Amino acid sequence: TGSRTCTECGKGYHVIFDPPINKDVCNECKGELYQRDDDKEDTIKSRLKVYHEQTAPVVEFYQKKNISMAINGLGKKDEVFQRITDIIEWG
């Protein structure tokens, strides 16, 4: 819920981890920052509810059959992509 996006240039910020110099103002173009609808608390709560009701049981099903693999999704996109392709090539 801490993400903010510039209305002008689209640059992203986070109120705790990467805040702008001036609250609600983009460092790059001085555009206004806003919170996207999909970053609001109610939306996130709804997504988590759907995940726990619909996705988690599917993950558990495949884990019990030992036909799933966990991949660390932290890092740069190319690093995560390489982890995925390594698993696919291994499997």
Question: pLDDT per residue over 44-54, tens digit each?
Answer: 999 999 999 99
Question: pLDDT per residue over 28-40, tens digit each?
Answer: 999 999 999 999 9
Token pair for 75:
């890092």
What is the model's pLDDT at position 91? 54
Question: What does the H/E/C string look like for 8-66?
Answer: CCCCEEECCCECCCECCECCCCCCEEECCHHHCHHHHHHHHHHHHHHHHHHHHHHHHCC
**Paired strand residues for 33:** 6
pTM above 0.75, yes or no: no
Any residues with CB less than 8 A from the CB of 13 and at least 6 apart, and which?
Answer: 3, 4, 5, 6, 19, 20, 26, 33
What is the model's pLDDT at position 89? 81
What is the model's pLDDT at position 75? 93
